[in-house]
Amino acid sequence: MLAYDPASNPLNNNEWSFPLLEILHIAGFTLSIGTIAVVDLRLLGLGLLRHSAKELLRATAPWTLVGLVVMLTTGPAIFSSDPVMYLRNFSFKFKMVALLAAILYNYTIHRKVALAEGPSGGAAVLVGAVSLALWISVVFGGLFIAFV
Amino acid sequence: MSLAEVMHSIQSVGFLTDLRESALVYPVVMSTHLSCIAVFGGMILMTDMRLLGLALKKYTVSEVVSALRPWKRVGGTIMITMGLLLGSSEADKYYINPFFWWKLTLLTLIGVHALIFRPLVYNHPEKIDESPQIPARAKWAAILSLVLWFGVLTMGRLIGYYEPKS
């Protein structure tokens, strides 16, 4: 296997690049999670009730994707600064599992229910609540990398 | 009593000491702060992008502003509470941190932004719905809001990187 020396990574040789990437990472997930949360609130029956979840999803989906792209570009770059540390970090592993689950969920169940005409109350509430819980657990997992 | 002593006595309050020293509660409070940024900060972004005519165009400005406002308030309240807990539990470190003061300055400017643009834009979104084009004052409100909040996010993150020269 090729040896990778993190010391050769520009991220570790410039005091500003790492925090800048983190700031963009946070801005990226703020955009994606914030737009998903708008749909979730609608599914929960808590806001924007004058329009269907379907319309809201259609209106927010492009922005969710922009946020995800920023997040999934900056994230691996941050990871590259110290891969061995991240791979050994329990919170990082938790975050990756939660992230994978959240993305899959978002583009399957969440999308299907939001696009369904007049999703039934109970199911929609459950789907919205699980979505919020998944994304918040990704944020928690990410922050805990620095603590656990 | 010097400022340093005041700061030290703030962070010495019992529950704040417990918070700072807890291996679990401290990161949980911080994660909650960050989760609020994700969920509710995203709503600020969406409101601003609607004012710029970039997103949610099927909805009127009134609809976006009035539907998201109560949630931004709930989120803002949790976020500020968590932020106050974090800052006051480490008051010794924060008051000498220039990024913390930048963040407070920007938050103050966001207050000024609200004072200026609430009467001009946010309190009368139906006027924007009625006009054929989004008025310049609404676009300025959105651009300034985006810049200020991105600044707050930036300064907030940089607080953690500051090392005082010893």
The pLDDT of residue B59 is above 90: no
Q: Which of B29, B56, B148 to mutate to test the interface with A (most CBs of A within 10 A)?
A: B56
> Rounded distance, CA B46 to CA B120, Å?
19
Over residues B24-47, the mean pLDDT reads 92
Q: What is the pLDDT of residue A119?
A: 61
Q: What is the pLDDT of residue A2?
A: 64
ipTM > 0.85, yes or no = yes
Partners of residue B97 in chain A, C-beta under 8 Å: none
Q: Please report, in tens digits, the pLDDT of each residue of chain A (148 residues total).
A: 567 777 778 777 778 889 999 999 999 999 999 999 999 999 998 877 777 889 889 989 999 999 999 999 999 999 999 999 999 999 999 999 999 999 999 999 999 999 986 666 888 999 999 999 999 999 999 999 998 7
Amino acid B11 reads Q
Closest CA to B92 of B2, B8, B1, B5: B8
- Min Cα separation B60/chain A (Å): 11
Note the maximum CA span of chain A. 57
The pLDDT of residue B28 is above 80: yes
> Rounded distance, CA A41 to CA A135, Å?
14
Q: What is the pLDDT of residue B157?
A: 94
Q: What is the pLDDT of residue A1?
A: 53
pLDDT in tens, B79-127: 999 999 998 998 888 999 999 999 999 999 999 999 999 999 999 999 9
Structure tokens at A135: 């994304």
pTM of the model: 0.90
Amino acid B80 reads I
**Residue from the list B46, B157, B161 with its beta carbon closest to the beta carbon of A38:** B46
Residues 72-91 of B with CB under 8 A from A: none
Q: Residues in chain A whose beta carbon is closer than 8 A to a beta carbon of chain B?
A: 19, 22-23, 26-27, 29-35, 37-38, 41, 46-51, 55, 59-60, 62-63, 67, 132, 135-136, 139-140, 142-144, 146-148
If you compute the radius of gyration of chain B from its CA atoms, what whole number of angstroms results? 19
Query: Above pLDDT 90, what percent of chain B?
Result: 58
- Grade residue B2 by pLDDT with cuts at 50, 70 and 90: confident
Q: What is the pLDDT of residue B19?
A: 80
**Neighbouring residues of A74: CB distance < 8 A, sequence distance ≥ 6:** A21, A22, A24, A25, A28
Using a CB cutoff of 8 Å and minimum separation of 24, what contacts does B52-58 make?
Answer: B52/B134, B52/B139, B52/B142, B52/B143, B53/B134, B55/A59, B55/A60, B55/A62, B55/A63, B56/A59, B56/A60, B57/A59, B58/A51, B58/A55, B58/A59
